[in-house]
Structure 1
Amino acid sequence: MARRRPPTTHGTVIVDKPAGPTSHDIVGILRRRFGERRIGHAGTLDPSATGVLVVGVGHATRLLRFATAGRKHYECEIVFGVATSTLDDDGARVATWTMGISPEDVATAATRFVGTISQLPPMVSAVRVGGRRLHEIARAGETADRSPREVRVNEFDVTPTDDPLVYTATVECSAGTFVRSLGADLGTALGGGAHIRSLRRTRSGSFTAAEAAPPSEAELLGMDELVRDLHQIALTSTEVGAARGGAHLAPSRYDGDGPWALADAHGTLVAVHERAGGRMKATVLAG
């Protein structure tokens, strides 16, 4: 008798990642919880970092790229006068400075990093070079040539604490921004060095920490959550069948630049349409 396959699970999970496990560890926990192998996340968090980790389950993994592109919000502390091997407090001290800085000095220096800036990916990041992640190369005691990349920092606010060398920071930035590099570069700009600690992602796109829960408790939501920030198109009954078959809609139905999330009268996601290379592309999600 043929063995019956377990039912497939599809959806979105908004996790409040604790400090300690890697983002991949969180995926493993959810695979066991939901009995589904196809699980991925939108935007890696370092093991010591906490906060919003958006996860796609089953067919929803096809939609993760639409959730990855949104702006990210972070909170952390910047510790001036000490540089570490990992640019955060997980690493070993590699240099120290005696730094006399004022709140005005720090705030003024921080403005230099607002806007479109160039960052060199840290050797402890998950960026791939030659098919290997930089942190894997670093653990092997090797180095790799890295190319700077442009990112966008919309907000970089720093606030003094009772310790004159420790500041809290809030950052709003584009996907792919390295907050630990912001902290280290700010220290360099002030004539010394710095590292960050207590990094927390409070928002990823429109997903907030208020919606998130620990990986053992986070609720499985609908796949449509991953495309809630896209332009929405409510389909007619005739359009539903056509969209499920991969057909495009009439040009007048597309407002803006896209991508567009197409849903039926019940709000159930049917497909995502986007323009690629000047042509319309249909990502069909329901058969």
Structure 2
Amino acid sequence: MVSLNQVKRVKRNVSGWLVLNKPYDMTSTQAVGKVRWLFGAAKAGHAGTLDPLATGILPIALGEATKTVPFVQDGTKVYRFSVKWGAATATDDAEGEVIATSDHRASAAEIEAVLPDFIGTISQVPPIFSALKIDGERAYDLARAGEKVELAAREIHVDSLKLLDHGSEKSVFEAVCGKGTYVRAIARDIAEQVGTKGHVVGLHRGAVGPFHDEDAVSIEQLEALDLTDRDALLKPIATSLIELPEIRLTQQQLSGVKHGNSVLLTGAGAPVSLDEAWASFAGEVVATGHVEHGQFVPRRVFN
């Protein structure tokens, strides 16, 4: 006799975005796995890794929404983070061992004086304990194995950086930044610039692209709901594309795009050229692509 535990769960073709408030001490991969299981989804992915010790917005794409992950990953992010002064760690956060200390404590005025140096397009050396790859290996795997890790500086963009609260032992900041920014590195570099050491002891991501704290649900909230109510929390795929121009297709154009073909756009306001756009029919996402010579050229077609 086959027990209920031995019965294979049937995967559902459910699609949409779930905005998760990732809990402390859970990896992004674990969070995606948990959400995928709760929804019984056939396919899932996330838009932007959060460190295990960080909390906050982890947008999780289910089903066809996974095709729009890059658009969310490229979106603006908001972080609130706490920096403990006087000690640098191997990981630039509370998880790593202390590798250097300083008795110096900077004033709020000294800290605010250097913040403009971290705004705009700046050069940043990522933490060695990061998911970046070196010859196909994750940097954090190499670092944990005791190998010497050297990462090249990269250009990132920081829209704003504010000191929200300051104390002699800990300060709180808010950063609005683009893709690829390491808040741990910002904290490390601010400390160095004001003549001390520092590392992140608290990190919360409050926004990723179109998704914000007020949209988020916790694992516990999801577990308390039945499947129908969970599905009601999913945001439409189109939510992830709101920053792109929308091309509304006619019934005739729909057929061509569904088959992966380019279609001529007509009408007085029809665009001639667009680097990125998405096509819809009756409010549903049909494809993402671009416009060239007055034609919408599909790149990813949605089922």
Question: What is the TM-score with the length of structure 1 in the denominator?
Answer: 0.90
Counterpart in the other structure of 1:171: 175
Letter in 1 for 2:23: P
In the alignment, which of 241, 259, 263 is matched to residue 280 of structure 2?
263
Aligned partner of 1:149 among 149, 154, 157: 154
Report how far residue 256 of structure 1 moved. 6.6
Conservation of the 8 A alpha-carbon contact between 1:230 and 1:258: no
Q: Deviations over 1:87-135 (max 9, x none)?
A: 1112222211111321110001111111111111211111111111111
Call closer, same or farther: CA 1:262–1:215 in 2, change over 3 Å: farther
**SS of corresponding position for 1:88:** coil
Q: Which of 242, 246, 271 is matched with 1:254 structurally?
A: 271
Pick the aligned partner of 1:124 from 107, 119, 129: 129
Provide the C-alpha distance between the structure 2 equivalents of 1:22 and 1:190, rounded to a whole number of angstroms: 32
Listed one character per residue, the Cα deviations across residues 234-285 of structure 1 (whole Å, up to 9, x for unaligned) are 22222222221222233663377441121112x1111111379xx9751343
Match of 1:137 among 142, 153, 163: 142
SS in 2 for 1:167: strand
Q: Specify which of 82, 85, 91 is matched with residue 80 of structure 1.
A: 85
Q: Specify whether residues 100 and 220 from structure 1 end up closer, same or farther in structure 2 by C-alpha distance, changes over 3 A only.
A: closer
Q: Give distance in 1, aligned partners of 2:158 and 2:71.
A: 20
Change (3 A) 1:256 1:16: farther
Give the Cα separation in 2 of the matches to 1:20 and 1:171. 22
Deviation at 1:179, TM superposition (A): 0.4
Whether the aligned pair in 2 keeps the contact of 1:105 and 1:190 (CA below 8 Å) is yes
C-alpha separation in 1, matches of 2:254 and 2:219: 35
5+ residue gaps, structure 1? none
Mapped partners of 1:106, 1:4: distance in 2? 54
- Alignment partner for residue 274 of structure 1, among 282, 290, 296? 290
Match of 1:25 among 9, 21, 30: 30
Q: Which amino acid aligns with 1:193?
A: K
Q: Which residue of 1 aligns with 2:247?
A: 233
Where does the alignment leave 5 or more consecutive residues of structure 2 unmatched?
Answer: 1-7, 223-229
- For the residues of structure 2 that align with 1:256 and 1:74, how far apart are their CA atoms? 35
Matched ranges for 1:2-17 at <5 A: 6-17=11-22
| Deviation of the 1:203 alpha carbon | 0.6
Secondary structure of 2:79's aligned partner: strand
Query: Where does residue 41 of structure 1 map in the other structure?
Result: 46
Query: Contact 1:123/1:143 (CA < 8 Å) preserved in 2?
Result: no
Query: For residues 80 and 177 of structure 2, what CA distance do their matches in structure 1 show?
Result: 12
Tell me the CA shift for residue 200 of structure 1: 0.5
Give the SS at the match of 2:263: coil
Q: In the alignment, which residue of structure 2 is the partner of 1:93?
A: 98
> 1:274, 1:268 → 2: CA distance?
17
1:5: Cα distance to partner? 6.0
* Matched residue type, 1:137: L
Distance in 1, Cα, partners of 2:118 & 2:169: 19
Question: 1:40 Cα shift?
Answer: 0.9
Name the CA distance, whole Å, in 1 between partners of 2:165 and 2:30.
34
Query: RMSD of the alignment, in Å?
Result: 2.3
What SS class does the counterpart of residue 202 from structure 2 fall into? Answer: strand
Q: C-alpha separation between the residues in 2 aligned to 1:281 and 1:121?
A: 37
CA distance change for structure 1 residues 28 and 4 in 2, over 3 Å: closer, same or farther?
Answer: closer
CA pair 142-263 structure 1, distance change in 2 beyond 3 A:
same
* Distance (Å, rounded) in 2 between the aligned partners of 1:255 and 1:105: 51
Check 1:263–1:191 CA distance in 2 against 1; reply closer, same or farther (3 A cut).
same
Residue identity in the other structure for 2:126:
P
Cα distance in 2 between the residues matched to 1:19 and 1:145: 28
CA distance in 2, matches of 1:153, 1:209: 20
Match of 1:70 among 75, 78, 87: 75
Query: Which SS does the other structure have where 2:160 is aligned?
Result: strand
Contact 2:85–2:105 (CA<8 Å) still a contact in 1?
no
Percent of aligned pairs with the same residue? Answer: 29
Query: In 2, are the aligned partners of 1:180 and 1:195 still within 8 Å (CA)?
Result: yes
